[in-house]
């Protein structure tokens, strides 16, 4: 490829990513400026990009932190659920993936194909059978009903397995020669190497858990146990809409995931790149 052609390709890619960034940032900008506007503005003009200092204030934020509502109950419910679900999903999925990558056993390929097939099944197809199972187990209106179905994520297992496929098996053999147990090899040798992939999957699984609405909505009925997406939905009712809390609460709910990504973006990029090319 000539230098002029390479330069043209870079310019085209730059323009392409600028356009993509624009479409990603515009909704975030609209939510951000709307958080400083009264709810009547949202009712009157909808979510818009107009920056008007005459109507903007910090009243919504004052109401968020001092008003009589259950927002922070929903927020901390979501936070606790996300942390527990992400930690369990990473540990269990990494262990399963390590088994697929490091050991040869009867039925290994068949079981891995089953994992791939599960990835292809939309969650909506599993919704009713899963609901019936949770109901028969008497787990309705509990956090266990939210956590248990997702702690062995097929997509996460697949990603970890691809990542681990790039690790030389000589490393495992060397650990055995040194007298390490299978558990010790996994904990002391493999898990430290998986830090970039853990960061990548922590962000992706954290986003899915934090934004999960449908399944928690089906299994939770106690308002004090509501997650943040469900709680924000309850602000819109036939008897009145609390747009002041809805819009500033939606803005505030973005911040944890945003901070998480900024903090681990280096590991996220390294983990995604390694997982994409190894195997």
pTM of the model: 0.84
Categorize the per-residue pLDDT at 38 as very low, low, confident or very high, splitting at 50, 70 and 90. confident
DSSP one-letter string for 83-109: HHHHHHHHHHHHHHHHHHHH---TTHH
> Domains of the chain: which residue ranges?
1-68, 69-277
CATH of 69-277, picked from 3.10.20.90, 1.10.287.130, 3.40.50.720, 1.10.3720.10, is 1.10.3720.10
**Contact criterion met (CB below 8 Å) for 147 and 85:** yes
pLDDT at 227: 93
Rounded average pLDDT over 212-223: 90
pLDDT the model gives residue 276: 46
Q: What is the pLDDT of residue 275?
A: 46
How many CB atoms sit inside 10 A of residue 182's CB? 13
The mean predicted confidence, pLDDT, of the chain is 85
Q: The tokens of 228 are what?
A: 């943040």
Which element (helix H / strand E) includes 236? strand 236-237
Residue 4, pLDDT score: 77
DSSP state of 148: G
84-88, 118-122, 228-232: range with lowest mean pLDDT: 118-122
Cα–Cα–Cα angle for 144, 91, 167, nearest 5°? 155
């Amino acid at each position: 490829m000539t230098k002029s052609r390479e330069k043209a390709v870079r310019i085209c890619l730059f323009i392409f990513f600028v356009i993509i960034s624009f479409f990603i940032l515009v909704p975030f900008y609209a939510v951000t400026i709307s958080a400083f506007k009264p709810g009547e503005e949202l009712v009157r003009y909808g979510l818009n990009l107009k920056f008007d200092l005459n109507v903007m204030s910090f009243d919504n934020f004052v109401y968020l932190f001092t008003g009589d509502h259950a927002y922070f109950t929903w927020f901390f419910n979501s936070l606790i659920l996300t942390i527990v679900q992400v930690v369990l999903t990473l540990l269990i999925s990494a262990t399963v993936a390590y088994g697929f990558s490091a050991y040869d056993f009867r039925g290994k390929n068949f079981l891995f194909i089953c994992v791939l097939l599960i990835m292809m099944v939309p969650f909506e197809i599993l919704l009713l059978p899963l609901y019936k199972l949770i109901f028969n187990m008497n787990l309705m209106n509990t956090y266990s009903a939210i956590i248990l179905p997702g702690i062995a994520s097929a997509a996460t297992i697949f990603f970890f397995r691809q990542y681990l496929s790039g690790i030389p098996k000589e490393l495992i053999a060397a650990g055995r020669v040194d007298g390490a147990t299978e558990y010790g090899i996994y904990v002391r040798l493999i898990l430290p190497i998986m830090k970039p992939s853990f960061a990548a999957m922590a962000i992706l699984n954290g986003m899915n858990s934090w934004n999960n609405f449908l399944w928690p909505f089906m299994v939770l009925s106690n308002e004090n146990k509501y997650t943040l997406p469900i709680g924000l939905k309850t602000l819109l009712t036939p008897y009145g809409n609390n747009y002041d809390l809805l819009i500033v609460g939606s803005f505030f709910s973005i911040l944890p995931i945003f901070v998480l990504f900024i903090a681990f973006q280096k590991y996220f990029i390294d983990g995604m790149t390694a997982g994409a090319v190894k195997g």
